[in-house]
């Protein structure tokens, strides 16, 4: 390593897939800096009251025997909220972000692409701190507003796919960024259905009408009791969802990073069920392209019958996921060069 001074990296983990990118980057950084573990301080900035992100990222302490730090600020807008909420909360969130940047004085800030990340990125730029922003992996035909704003004002933008350069031409393609497998992949015979915090009621109701057994269903904010049928295992939340992905025969999920993790990290066949509640963050076209990228089968649960879903499930089990360059590793090396921590 060329410099022995302690470096501080601030990573914004804004929930859902955004937290997944933060986790994936931290995993690679911890692997690459194990010889000088005390010289890299990682601080995660979470949305207030985001217990899922906190619990997920806290697992890094156990897995890598490294200290991680947390702070939080107000999230301007949730995916299901109106633009008015964003306008109302933005000043408070930006004020909190400026205080956080002043508190830690980070060498680099990594934004993971949400409006929650945007306020931290803007506060960092006010303090003349280098910012790197990661575009969403499922924004392929369209572009997130945060990434567009930051790209257009000159912030380095990290892309997963070459197609994303059509909308963000100065972006840097590193390959798909996904999380490390935490468990050995195996086939325990069940179908895992997981759709994050938001859940996917249309999909759940469709599944309930099928004759499918051996389902493990994670419902998120949707109450799980209504789906405790047959031999199904049903729960609302598990910060260690990886253990369920690792043992699944097939993973059914919505658009986003979980689909990529299941296919590329665990080599599981995947069905992506489009969730219109997430259309502000990933459109129907985006979702179809993502499914093609990871060799998953695409469904729109509003447009198919229970019998058709059963047929798709059996067909999906024959799908083989592709292999890609590890974008997270490439990004981690890039961050370490900026921190002057190359070996």
146 and 214 part of one domain: no
Residues 96 and 203 reside in one and the same domain: no
Of the candidates 115, 109, 262, 281, which has an alpha carbon nearest to the alpha carbon of residue 178? 262
Residues 145 and 197 in one domain: no
Q: Are residues 103 and 26 in the same domain?
A: yes
Does residue 303 register a pLDDT over 80? yes
Cβ–Cβ < 8 Å for 145, 153: no
Q: Is 186 among the domain residues?
A: no
Q: Do 209 and 107 share a structural domain?
A: no
Kindly calculate the radius of gyration of the chain based on its CA atoms and give it in whole angstroms. 20
Looking at the fold, whether 142 and 224 belong to one and the same domain comes out as: no
Rounded to 10 deg, the angle between the 16-32 and 51-64 helix axes is 20
pLDDT at 4: 67
- The DSSP letter of residue 263 is I
Q: What is the pLDDT of residues 63-108, one digit of tens each?
A: 999 999 999 999 887 766 677 877 888 899 999 999 999 999 999 9
Task: Say if residue 100 is in the same domain as residue 68.
Answer: yes
Q: Do 134 and 23 lie in a common domain?
A: yes
Tokens of 190: 């069940």
Q: What is the pLDDT of residue 81?
A: 67
At 229 the pLDDT is 93
Nearest C-alpha neighbor of 22 from the set 62, 65, 69: 69
End-to-end C-alpha distance for the chain, whole angstroms = 4
The answer to whether residue 293 scores a pLDDT higher than 60 is yes
In a domain, 48, yes or no: yes
- Look at residue 144 and tell me if it is in a domain: yes
Residues 14-27, mean pLDDT to the nearest whole number: 94
208 and 144, same structural domain?
A: no
What rounded mean pLDDT belongs to the chain?
94
List the beta bridge partners of residue 276.
Answer: none
Residue with tokens 């008015």: 84
Task: Note whether residue 11 is domain-resident.
Answer: yes
Residue-level pLDDT at 209: 97
Parent domain of 260: 191-316
Residues 232 and 278 in one domain: yes
Would the pLDDT of 280 be above 90? no
Residue 3 pLDDT exceeds 60: no
- CATH of residue 102's domain is 3.40.50.2000
pLDDT > 90 fraction of the chain, expressed in percent and rounded: 85
Residue 241 lies in a domain: yes
Whether 182 is in a domain gets the answer no
Predicted confidence band of residue 254 (pLDDT cuts 50, 70, 90): very high
Is residue 155 domain-shared with residue 292, that is, in the same domain? no
Report in angstroms the alpha-carbon separations of 120 from 47, 113, 224, 247, 249: 11, 11, 35, 37, 40
Q: Kindly state whether residues 195 and 272 are assigned to the same domain.
A: yes
Q: Number of structural domains, the chain?
A: 2
């Amino acid at each position: 390593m060329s410099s022995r001074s302690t470096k501080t990296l601030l990573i914004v983990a804004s929930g859902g897939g955004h937290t997944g990118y933060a986790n994936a980057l931290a995993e690679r950084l911890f692997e690459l800096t194990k010889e000088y573990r005390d010289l890299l301080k990682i601080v995660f900035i979470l949305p207030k009251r985001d217990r899922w992100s906190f619990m997920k990222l806290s697992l890094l302490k156990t897995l890598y025997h490294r200290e991680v730090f947390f702070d939080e600020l107000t999230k301007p807008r949730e995916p299901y909220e109106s633009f008015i909420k964003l306008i109302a909360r933005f000043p408070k969130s930006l004020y909190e972000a400026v205080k956080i940047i002043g508190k830690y004085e980070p060498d680099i800030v990594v934004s993971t692409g949400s409006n929650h990340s945007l306020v931290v990125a803007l506060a960092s730029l006010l303090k003349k701190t280098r910012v790197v922003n990661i575009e969403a992996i499922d924004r392929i035909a369209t572009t997130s507003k945060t990434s567009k704003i930051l790209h257009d004002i000159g912030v380095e933008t990290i892309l997963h796919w070459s197609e994303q350069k059509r909308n963000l031409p100065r972006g840097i393609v590193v390959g798909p960024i996904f999380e490390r497998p935490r468990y050995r992949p195996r086939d325990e015979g069940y179908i895992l259905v997981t759709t994050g915090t938001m859940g996917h009621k249309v999909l759940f109701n469709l599944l309930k009408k099928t004759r499918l057994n051996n389902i493990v269903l994670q419902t998120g904010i949707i109450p799980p009791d209504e789906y405790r049928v047959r031999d199904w295992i049903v729960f609302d939340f598990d910060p260690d969802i990886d253990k369920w992905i690792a043992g699944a025969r097939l993973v059914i999920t919505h658009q986003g990073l979980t689909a990529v993790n299941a296919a590329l990290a665990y080599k599981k066949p995947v069905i992506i069920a489009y969730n219109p509640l997430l259309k502000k963050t990933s459109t129907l076209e985006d979702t179809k392209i993502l499914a093609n990228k990871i060799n998953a089968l695409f469904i729109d649960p509003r447009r198919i019958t229970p019998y058709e879903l059963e047929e798709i499930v059996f067909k999906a089990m024959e799908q083989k996921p592709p292999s890609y360059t590890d974008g997270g590793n490439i990004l981690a090396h890039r961050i370490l060069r900026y921190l002057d921590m190359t070996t």
